[in-house]
Amino acid sequence: MSKLTDRLNTTRVAIYVRVSTRYQADQDSLPLQREDLTNYARYVLNADSYEIFEDAGFSAKNTDRPDYQHMMTRVRGGEFSHVLVWKLDRISRNLLDFAAMYEELRRLGVTFVSKNEQFDTSSAMGEAMLKIILVFAELERKMTGERVTAVMISRAGNGLWNGGKVPYGYTYDKNTETFSINEEEAAVVLRMYDLYEQHHSLLQVAKALNASGVRHRSGKEWNPTTVSIILKSPFYTGTYRYNQRAMSKRNSHQDLKPEAEWVIVPDHHPAIVTPERWRAIAESLVQNRRGWQSAGKTYARKNVHVFAGLLTCGVCGSVMSATSNCRTHKDGYRPSNYACMSHRRNDGCTNKYISDTKIGPFVLNYIANLIRARASFGKTTSPETLQKKLLRGEMFADVDHIKEPGLMELYSLYKSQVSGVPYVPKVSSGDAETERDMLLSERRRLDRALSRLKSLYLYSEEDMSEREYIIEKNNLAEQLEKVNARLDEISKDISSQFSLTDEEFLEKASYFIITQRLADKRFVDYKRLLMETDPRILKDFINSVSSNFCIKNGKIMSITFKNGIIHEFVYKGE
């Protein structure tokens, strides 16, 4: 008999075994399958030879498994007459995958045998049974998947962690199943928030962290993507969010599920940032993302914070930043809230939040009063009369008086316009030059301190830990950034040399009010004006006539105008 005839008449079995988890692989499942199938090949199929192909820890959701692919390559080469499995779902639980494999085996003349289901495809009945069983195998897989998903969602709803990478800034105790704050990493997270609120740029945040020597937990440098993941995650507010995304069937990306399906557990673990600060950052990230301008068309942002960058906390002196966490009103208007950054960082500041619905009416009506007071100012007008005109309106009912220095500055300005005597502003570029010299000296001091700190860490015999070095370096770098930021502001101020003069300031304000048909009204409706006007125009106007508003416990304590005049308000009962 020829070698070809011998080969055709011999039973050569490819035995395939698989388990889906390492736990099963380490227990009895694989040895049991190997022994059972080896005996079946010998005594039932009367195999002349057999070979075992084994995939441990692989799922049956697809056929992307190394030993399975190796087996099929050799089957195509004509090395086997049978493929033997312990159970049908060891090959695949996907009907389409198995159908493709079975069709290929049928064309090659290879018999498929399942030991547990007791059939082989050499008979018509075996072939029919195989297809029926495969349908139920896929159904079982889907039902198992649904049960697993339900269990995971239930666990998440009960506040239990479903695994995955532990978020940067936290550590996880497997025994107690609880999270705790990693103080060193949490300091970096807060630094990210500070940097983003200063620069509004993910790239600048990453650059600043890398320049400070701060690295990710993996040891790699930061990039805009890794920074964005942290800033966008609500996990840092103490909230556990699960079941938010589902894998797309067509693509490899994940699709966002409806919010009704999300599992959200507030106060799940210690927070690093407040929810208000996180929402403000999230809003800013949406507004600043690329793509607002495309193909020459400009898209307006969802919300414009009219007073952003102009508010100072009257309690601690920190900047007050904007957030759109207020609910949208029925008429479509969405207010902006402003809060002290120190208060958001839980640094002890007690100042309250304030909404632009409180700031706007006060500021616009005060400017309108300024314009009307100037128009009616005469040679016999007294400071007391000027003050009454400036505080005319319901929104000033709680204001007792304007502090004398600022009131008299404005009085002198108006009087000079009536009498023709030149008015000299109290603020000059010389003041800025003096501050600039002081800041330059401070910058040199900080640069020297950073250099000495580095030398101390690298070469000194003193035992300075890496953690101590990084903390101190970050502290000095933060001070240096503030100095540089203030130097940039002063440079701009000096170059402009008060480009907006006193007369221009009032003319600009008057022009704005008149063009909005509000100059002749006793009350300026801020909300209506904002909804009828492009908010960016109103924001530009506010920035053109004022440079700062000091806020304390929901009240405007002072207004600093571009011409250097500061009006401080004293409220009744204070």
Per-residue pLDDT tens digits for 224-283: 888 988 998 888 988 887 766 654 443 334 566 676 667 777 888 899 999 888 888 888
For residue 394, is it within any domain? yes
d(Cα 211, Cα 494) in Å, to the nearest integer? 30
Mean pLDDT of 205-225: 87
90-119 pLDDT, tens digit per residue, is 777 665 567 678 778 888 889 988 887 766
Q: What confidence score (pLDDT) does residue 95 get?
A: 59
Handedness of CA 250, 256, 257, 261 (dihedral sign): positive
Ranges 276-285, 326-335, 492-501: which has the least confidence: 492-501
Total number of domains constituting the chain:
4
Whether the CB-CB separation of 142 and 158 falls below 8 Å is answered with no
Amino acid at 305: H
Whether the CB-CB separation of 201 and 237 falls below 8 Å is answered with no
Residue tagged 């736990």 (tokens):
23
Which candidate, 343, 341, 302, places its Cα nearest to that of 321?
341
β pairing state of 82-85 and 12-19: parallel
- Is the same domain home to 253 and 375? no
- Is the same domain home to 229 and 281? yes
Residue 471 tokens, joined: 């903390």
Whether the CB-CB separation of 333 and 530 falls below 8 Å is answered with yes
- Is the same domain home to 251 and 378? no
Whether the CB-CB separation of 563 and 555 falls below 8 Å is answered with no
Residue 3 pLDDT class (50, 70, 90 cuts):
very low
Residues 6+ apart with CB under 8 A from 217: 168, 185
Mean pLDDT of 18-27: 53
Please work out, in degrees rounded to the nearest 5, the angle formed at the alpha carbon of residue 346 by the alpha carbons of 343 and 347: 80
Mean pLDDT of 438-446: 75
Three-class secondary structure of residue 263 per DSSP: strand
- Is the same domain home to 391 and 538? yes
Q: What confidence score (pLDDT) does residue 25 get?
A: 40
For residue 334, is it within any domain? no
For residue 458, is it within any domain? yes
Mean pLDDT of 298-306: 58
d(Cα 85, Cα 18) in Å, to the nearest integer? 9
For residue 534, is it within any domain? yes
Give the percent of the chain with pLDDT over 70. 67
For residue 330, is it within any domain? no
Residues 6+ apart with CB under 8 A from 392: 369, 522
For position 60, which CATH number holds? 3.40.50.1390
Whether the CB-CB separation of 250 and 243 falls below 8 Å is answered with no
Q: State the burial class of residue 164 (Cβ atoms within 10 Å of its Cβ: 0-12, 13-18, 19+).
A: exposed
Residue 472 tokens, joined: 């101190």
Q: What confidence score (pLDDT) does residue 190 get?
A: 93
Amino acid at 394: E
Residue 129 pLDDT class (50, 70, 90 cuts):
low
Residues 6+ apart with CB under 8 A from 300: 534, 536
Residue 294 pLDDT more than 50?
no
Q: Among the three residues 496, 527, 547, which one is the final residue of a domain in this structure?
A: 496
Q: What confidence score (pLDDT) does residue 552 get?
A: 93
Give the C-alpha distances (Å, rounded to integers) separating 181 from 178, 217, 270, 468.
10, 14, 7, 18
For residue 340, is it within any domain? no
Strand-pairing partners, residue 256, are 245
140-197 pLDDT, tens digit per residue, is 666 766 666 666 666 666 667 766 788 898 998 888 888 899 999 999 999 999 998 8
Residue 436 pLDDT more than 50?
yes
Q: Among the three residues 154, 182, 217, which one is the final residue of a domain in this structure?
A: 154
Residue 482 pLDDT class (50, 70, 90 cuts):
confident
Q: What confidence score (pLDDT) does residue 105 get?
A: 86
Residue 137 pLDDT class (50, 70, 90 cuts):
low
Determine the longest span between alpha carbons in the chain, in angstroms: 133
- Is the same domain home to 399 and 517? yes
**Rg, the chain, Cα only:** 37
Which candidate, 328, 323, 414, places its Cα nearest to that of 371?
414
- Is the same domain home to 74 and 178? no
- Is the same domain home to 505 and 396? yes
Mean pLDDT score of the chain: 76
- Is the same domain home to 360 and 508? yes
For residue 327, is it within any domain? no
Residue 492 pLDDT class (50, 70, 90 cuts):
low
Calculate the dihedral angle through the C-alpha atoms of 493, 494, 498, 499, rounding to the nearest 10 degrees.
Answer: -90
Strands annotated E in 395-477: 399-402
Q: Among the three residues 496, 526, 555, which one is the final residue of a domain in this structure?
A: 496
Domain that holds residue 419: 356-425+500-571
Residue tagged 């571009």 (tokens):
562
For residue 135, is it within any domain? yes
Q: What confidence score (pLDDT) does residue 13 get?
A: 94
Phi, psi at 546, each rounded to 5°: -140, 160
- Is the same domain home to 286 and 368? no
Euclidean distance between the first and the last CA atom of the chain, given in angstroms as a whole number: 116
Residues 6+ apart with CB under 8 A from 531: 331, 332, 333
Amino acid at 213: G
Strands annotated E in 399-472: 399-402
Residue 458 pLDDT class (50, 70, 90 cuts):
low
Whether the CB-CB separation of 170 and 179 falls below 8 Å is answered with yes
Specify the DSSP class assigned to residue 291.
Answer: T
Mean pLDDT of 399-422: 82
- Is the same domain home to 223 and 283? yes
Give the C-alpha distances (Å, rounded to integers) separating 235 from 202, 421, 523.
19, 63, 45
- Is the same domain home to 249 and 201? yes
Whether the CB-CB separation of 246 and 257 falls below 8 Å is answered with yes
State the DSSP string of 336-391. -EEEEHHHHTTSS--PPPEEHHHHHHHHHHHHHHHHHHHHT--TT--HHHHHHHHT
Residues 6+ apart with CB under 8 A from 557: 314, 550, 551, 568, 569
- Is the same domain home to 52 and 131? yes
For position 260, which CATH number holds? 3.90.1750.20
